[in-house]
Amino acid sequence: GSNQMWGGRFASGPAAIMEEINASIGYDRKLYRQDIEGSIAHATMLADCDIISAGDRDKIIHGLNTIRSEIEAGDFNFSRKLEDIHMNVEARLSELIGPAAGRLHTARSRNDQVALDFRMWARGETEKAVGLLQSLIAAFLARAEEHAKTVMPGFTHLQTAQPVTFGHHCMAYVEMFGRDLSRMEDCLARMNECPLGAAALAGTGFPIDRSQTASALGFTGPTRNSIDTVSDRDFALEYMAAASICATHLSRLAEEIVIWSTPQFGFVTLSDAFSTGSSIMPQKKNPDAAELVRAKTGRINGDLIALLTVMKGLPLAYSKDMQEDKEAVFDASESLELALAAMTGMVGDLTVNAKAMKKAAGSGYSTATDLADWLVRELGIPFREAHHVTGRAVAVAVEKGVALEKLTLEDLQSIHPRITDSVFGVLTVEKSAASRKSFGGTAPQEVRRQIRFWKKRLGAS
């Protein structure tokens, strides 16, 4: 038979394959709560504006609450013939309360309805991301505080560069996840406008009150342009863009954890709770959670590109292409939330092997820059010449097979006669790290200053 919603215009029903390509109920059923909440606010407003009667409003609200309980009890029969969550709910409402159900869709279209439901969903996921990021940052702040003085090698090109502190390295991630947090907060503020009342695309002739529904649903106010409202998915794109950047940070951290936890590096040991064993090699402890975080990033990036690509050719206003917006966001949010939670667990649980870090920090002549700086500061030698002198000192150390600070004063004086034994005061990794007191530098006191800043910021947000 023809459709119960638009059967007036249609003599026959859809082909089976049409029904299959057209249906979104398989995934948009996730939006049932937003759909029902939005409909209750809409019905309440319609009655307040004398567009429907108080009696019909009460029947509608009662019916919608019943439907929510049915869905939550697993007692709801979702039908693909009814295409999507909006029509499934409305059809059931009509079974439950009869003709009054037909008044709910007054001054509304599925176009503003779906824009509302999906925006409320995205808002919820963005709020979750904010909370999860705050927990991850808190986990890092705790590790940074513990390890403000723990020396490790800093790398460029993954080659030993200069000694840094593990606390400082942790605080680098705090900056990254802090930017993610503020991106999420920014897009939350921008997306928090209510689409309801845009109707199909042109608004409505009924005397509705858009501010009422907006505030009932926790929005700052109604959207301003009805055409934009039903064709806009920026809220989803922005959330996924922020999610992709955040996932990129998680993935870089995951990569570092994979490297650090190898026996060759041995900088950290993952807790049993966040690693797996091997079915054949009894000695193995694998960083699977970190690897999966790294992989989830690929999915999340793909989700962003998928929706950008769906949207890029669409004329205003609504096109059915936009029904393909949801799965990308569902997948991205599920992946991001898992990755954030797993990373928070890993960071909080991992054991820092300070001895291995310190040993590695001293290898690879990591304090060569400190020697060059000493020559500049104490002897007034231009930096370029000091760089050259230090290069020769490194060459002698390489030849003798010793660390820089194990060269004798004679060794050093044979390279430059004015070097004195006070130079040995700057060649240890601790002294090197402690000397870098410039704002944002790796010295423990600077790291502690940054920790104080972030604790205050988190407390305030």
Active site residues: 157, 278
Binding mask 69-108 for ligand ARG (x = CB under 6 A): ---------------x------------------------
Cβ atoms within 10 Å, residue 445: 11
Cβ(89)–Cβ(36) below 8 Å: yes
Smaller CB separation from ligand ARG, 233 or 416? 233
Cβ(346)–Cβ(270) below 8 Å: yes
Smaller CB separation from ligand ARG, 255 or 327? 327
Per CB under 6 A, the list member of 24, 34, 126, 390 interacting with ligand ARG is 24
User: Does 323 engage in binding with ligand ARG (CB under 6 A)?
Assistant: yes
Smaller CB separation from ligand ARG, 275 or 323? 323
Match 């240890």 to its residue by tokens: 428
User: Does 119 engage in binding with ligand ARG (CB under 6 A)?
Assistant: no
C-alpha pair distances (Å), 114 with each of 35, 52, 235, 352, 443: 8, 22, 13, 49, 53
What is the CA 408 to chain-centroid distance, rounded? Answer: 52
Strand ranges for 141-192 from DSSP E? 151-156, 159-165
Per CB under 6 A, the list member of 88, 111, 226, 297 interacting with ligand ARG is 111
Q: What angle do CA 183, 331, 255 make, to 5 degrees?
A: 65
Count of residues touching ligand ARG (by CB under 6 A): 10
Of 90, 109, 112, which is closest to residue 32 (Cα–Cα)?
Answer: 90
Q: Phi and psi for 133 in degrees, rounded to 5?
A: -65, -40
Instruction: Taking each helix axis as running N to C, give the angle between helix 32-48 and helix 54-72, from 0 to 180 degrees, rounded to the nearest 10.
Output: 170
Q: Under rule CB under 6 A, which residues in 26-55 are in contact with ligand ARG?
A: 28
C-alpha pair distances (Å), 389 with each of 117, 200, 265, 369: 68, 75, 31, 11
Q: Shortest Cβ distance from residue 115 to ligand ARG (Å)?
A: 9
Smaller CB separation from ligand ARG, 323 or 353? 323
Q: Shortest Cβ distance from residue 10 to ligand ARG (Å)?
A: 14
Per CB under 6 A, the list member of 318, 365, 374, 454 interacting with ligand ARG is 318
Q: Shortest Cβ distance from residue 325 to ligand ARG (Å)?
A: 7
Binding mask 261-300 for ligand ARG (x = CB under 6 A): ----------------------------------------
Binding window for ligand ARG (CB under 6 A); candidates: 50-58, 159-167, 263-271, 319-327: 319-327
Token representation of residue 448? 């502690």
User: Does 301 engage in binding with ligand ARG (CB under 6 A)?
Assistant: no
Q: Which runs of consecutive H residues, i.e. helices, occur in 350-428? A: 354-362, 368-379, 383-400, 409-415
Smaller CB separation from ligand ARG, 9 or 157? 9
Q: Shortest Cβ distance from residue 1 to ligand ARG (Å)?
A: 20
Give the DSSP per-residue string, 426-439: G-SHHHHHHH--ST
The CA distance from 96 to 123, in Å, is 31
Q: Shortest Cβ distance from residue 320 to ligand ARG (Å)?
A: 6
Per CB under 6 A, the list member of 42, 59, 103, 110 interacting with ligand ARG is 110
Residues forming contacts to ligand ARG in the complex (CB under 6 A) are 24, 28, 84, 110-111, 114, 318, 320, 322-323
